A and B are shown apart, each in its own frame.
Chain A
Amino acid sequence: MPSVAISTSQVRALLLSENRQTNVTTPMGNMMLEIQGDLEIPETSHADDRFSSHEGVDIVKFGLLHVNMETKSATLFIGKKQRLLGSVVKLDTPLGLLKFNHKSGTVEMQDIFSYKVIFKNRPLPIM
């Protein structure tokens, strides 16, 4: 019968220390971004200074995020043309982040999200 234990020592320590997320990023440095739509970014690198690499992996700079933690409002600039208005919301049910390691066949719960930044409105042009 297949089974796998979930390694939870990391989040257990977090929960017991009562070091909870109160900002857009978790104490472990993760953030959840949600957009009501499809975020289209290239699948391959191009000769443009938005493309670079990190730890051997190709990455692209796709946007700029501004958050006002007092008002819990957020603005997301996508590329050079789109501006989205959104907010920081507290999740009704926190979400555990599970990492499945296919090589070792192990599972680890690495973090807990209590907040997300969500953009539900139609993108506006950048004036």
Chain B
Amino acid sequence: MSTNLYSRLSCDPSYKLVQLTPELLEALTSDEPQLQFKCFDEKRSDVVLCSARRTWLLRQKNHSNTVMLMREFLPEDEQTQEDSSLFGIPRPINDLLGYSRTTYEYETRATEGRINLDLVPIYNGEVNFPGESKLKGRTLKDVFDNSPSSETECKVRWYQLGGCVVNGCPCILSPDMLSNALHVTLMSALAESLDFDRLHPCETYEVVQKDVEKGRSPYVLEVVRTVLAKFGTPNDDETWKLNRRQVAQWYGVRALQKFASRHSVPLEEFLIKWKSTFPPFAGFDIDIKMLRGWFCEPTRGTVQYVSKDTLPVDVKDRFKMLFKLQSQWDLEAFAPFIEDLNTKGLKIDTFIMKYARKRRIGKKIVVCSR
């Protein structure tokens, strides 16, 4: 089969190629809403590609070849070709016109979608919320539409962050608000013997209202819904199964902040204090290992809170700080403090070994400075 090849003298630069991985092909053929390109801001951020359920980082892969995109066309002035100009090949049966050239392809790399929390206010139980918030009038859908993330990831991440809608305004529950709301919800649910494996938002809200003082309660239905979504996993029937470990962890971190911020405390003493913060008869199991990533052991047998806000962003500085807090760490206790810096996705001990030393003591692996 022979074809005449033509090209525009000036190619159209508005065409680009994107690799269609199996996941993207699946997204193209699904019934879900369309693919979108999204970006935090025009100047500095990276473009992502979002389907309804997934997010991919767009990467440009340059290459050194000429790639010409061509399409069939009918030349306006047909010319008869002499046989000598065909170089011995059959007479062409059609004509192709090159309309664009590309020197790169877009690749996609799966990534985590992020929620854009710009202008989303914090709710701490204020009476006149949202007041003059700049987000007034905007909906949760607006927040999701303005986030470089798929809608599904937004919904999951929203509740993980303590996201809520109060008086029609999307907001984030403050840590204090979340703690109080969780505590009141647990107490009320225990008092009414609700099944912690099947908590329905409306039913849970009703029992909470019984226990709060008459008058305006900040624990509106949406707040209760956020508590269940943040600390639970969904069942098939609109109810939530409480994640006991996650609740225990939340109480544990709050206990560290309250009792072990300024000074270290003996571990046994801390465990008793931690247990005492739960509602009576709550029956949550605790284990200090649940709080890895939130505390250090300055001396053997003591614990002290480590705030993530104080951790340096620079990897060498962070390692230095951690070894100053504690000279030697179990690998499992150390990893949560540095895994966010492992942006290349190396195996965690490979990453740690770039900046620290590893020693085996019996069956344990400990990490210390170089």
Contacts and interface: CB of A to CB of B under 8 A. Distances in A.
Which applies to chain A's interface (DSSP): helix, strand, loop or mixed? strand
A25 B34 CA distance: 26
Interface string B31-42: 000111111111
Contacts of B2: 64-67
A85 B213 CA distance: 85
B65 interface: yes
A41 to B, nearest CB: 6
Contacts of B98: 33, 62
Contact of A54 (B5, B41, B70, B73): B73
Contact of A98 (B16, B68, B86): B16
Interface string A24-53: 110011111111111101111100010011
A64 B41 contact: no
Interface stretch (B145-153, B158-166, B291-299, B335-343): B145-153
Interface string B63-107: 011111111110111010000011101101000111000000100
A1 B15 contact: no
Tier of interface size on chain A: 35 or more
A98 B17 contact: yes
B141 to A, nearest CB: 13
B35 to A, nearest CB: 5
Contacts of A100: 14-16
A3 B39 contact: yes
Interface stretch (B20-28, B123-131, B242-250, B318-326): B20-28
B196 interface: no
A34 B28 contact: no
B346 interface: no
A30 B79 CA distance: 23
Contacts of A89: none
Contact of A64 (B7, B77, B89): B89
A68 B90 CA distance: 11
Nearest to A44: B9
A30 B71 contact: yes
Contacts of A15: 25, 28-29
Given A32-B69, A41-B7, A112 B20 contact: yes
Contacts of B96: 25, 31, 65
Interface string A7-18: 110011001100
Contacts of A126: 87
A91 to B, nearest CB: 9
Contacts of A113: 17
Contacts of B29: 12, 15-16
A100 B318 CA distance: 44
A9 B261 CA distance: 57
A1 B146 contact: yes
B66 A61 contact: no
Contacts of B302: none
A2 B39 contact: yes
A101 to B, nearest CB: 7
A95 B105 CA distance: 8
Given A4-B36, A52-B75, A54-B97, A42 B9 contact: yes
Contact of B5 (A30, A58, A62): A62
A36 to B, nearest CB: 5
24 contacts: A5-B35, A6-B34, A7-B34, A28-B71, A30-B71, A31-B71, A34-B65, A34-B67, A53-B76, A54-B73, A62-B98, A64-B86, A65-B3, A66-B2, A66-B89, A67-B2, A94-B20, A95-B18, A96-B18, A98-B16, A99-B14, A99-B15, A100-B16, A109-B28
Given A11-B28, A30-B70, 5 more contacts: A33-B70, A39-B7, A58-B10, A66-B89, A77-B87
